Amino acid sequence: MKGLLERLAAGEILISDGAMGTFLQAKGLQPGESPEAWCLTHPDAVKSIAEAYIAAGSDIVETDSFGGTSFKQKEFGLDDKVVEMNKAAARIAKEAMGDKGYVAASVGPTGQIAYDEGGTVANEDLYNSFKEQVIALEEGGADALCIETMMSVIEAVQAVKAAKENTKLPIICTFTFEKGARGFRTMMGADPGSAAKAVAEAGADIVGANCGNGIENMIEITREMRAALPKTPILIHANAGMPVLEDGKTVFKATPTEMAAKVPELIAAGANIIGGCCGTNPDHISAMAKAAKGGNGGCCCKCNCK
């Protein structure tokens, strides 16, 4: 099988997976429970999620390791299990995927704020926490690292550096943006173009955005990133629309058909890897995969060669 970056360089559009958290909740994850600990206590349930996305058409699946840093696991009293659970997360996803595609190991924010942004944590401490996680994910069999849902460029750069300097894996780094009077910005004020350039300069091979927006807003974010980085692959994981509160529950109402209808425009804006975030499920991924790969006669390239 060709490498991930090689396939992207050849012009392929690849399909990633959808939401993990809502799937885990449907399988019984309780409030206050560590989702990542399920890699140790409920490995078959975690594996079944990856299998469902693979069956739906995902070329790439992520691991159940989003909150797998020592900072996050300390909240559950499980910081001594970080290496074990990250290795398990990668191994479970790899067992599900086999040689059919790629495992992009999820690396989320630590929940801490760096000194330079008014917080209490040194860059070195962020770096070391990410270092512990990414080494374990590589040892577990991950094919790539997906540093995601980043709101701070400083934290994202530390995560990218930790991955670049301590693993041999391709590095994806995505941010979450909110639209305001100044356009799209992260919580710390970075726009899509500058955020993408910062992590690309730090060593990220793929940049992008996830969460916080439905697919329509992601089209505009993609255009801004593509303008800043004309040749760097872009990954987009959109929510199934914006969240709506119904009967005390948060729901995402964009249908698979509605999301799939926007896929050609997202590709035209410059996206190379397309998947979903909050509210998306295998039905969304299946519909988007068909829109991306079936809408041009089965060709999975932007060249429409068939």
Contact assessment for residue 135 and residue 203, using Cβ atoms and an 8 Å cutoff: no
Q: Name the nearest CA neighbour of 174 among 141, 119, 218, 143.
A: 218
Contact assessment for residue 263 and residue 288, using Cβ atoms and an 8 Å cutoff: yes
Q: d(Cα 123, Cα 114) in Å, to the nearest integer?
A: 6
pLDDT tens-place string over residues 102-150: 999 999 999 999 999 999 999 999 999 999 999 999 999 999 999 999 9
**Contact residues for 237 (Cβ-Cβ < 8 A; gap 6+):** 16, 148, 174, 208, 209, 210, 211, 275, 276, 277
pLDDT tens-place string over residues 43-76: 999 999 999 999 999 999 999 999 999 999 999 9
Spans of all domains in the chain: 4-293
> Helix (H, G, I), strand (E, B), or coil: what is residue 168?
coil
pLDDT tens-place string over residues 262-293: 999 999 999 999 999 999 999 999 999 999 98
Whether the model clears a pTM of 0.85, i.e. scores above it, the answer is: yes
Q: What is the pLDDT of residue 298?
A: 36
Q: How confident is the model at residue 251 (pLDDT cuts 50, 70, 90)?
A: confident
pLDDT tens-place string over residues 166-175: 999 999 999 9
Q: What is the pLDDT of residue 304?
A: 33
Q: How confident is the model at residue 186 (pLDDT cuts 50, 70, 90)?
A: very high
Contact assessment for residue 118 and residue 168, using Cβ atoms and an 8 Å cutoff: no
Q: Which neighbouring-strand residues pair with 249? A: 246
Return left, alpha or beta for 262; rule: phi > 0 is left, psi -120 to 50 is alpha, else beta: alpha
CATH fold label, 4-293: TIM Barrel (3.20.20)
Q: What is the pLDDT of residue 299?
A: 40
How many C-beta atoms surround the C-beta of residue 79 within 10 A? Answer: 15
Q: d(Cα 301, Cα 281) in Å, to the nearest integer?
A: 24
Q: What is the pLDDT of residue 303?
A: 39
> Helix (H, G, I), strand (E, B), or coil: what is residue 11?
coil
Residue 301 has pLDDT above 60, yes or no: no
Q: How confident is the model at residue 294 (pLDDT cuts 50, 70, 90)?
A: confident
pLDDT tens-place string over residues 199-232: 999 999 999 999 999 999 999 999 999 999 999 9
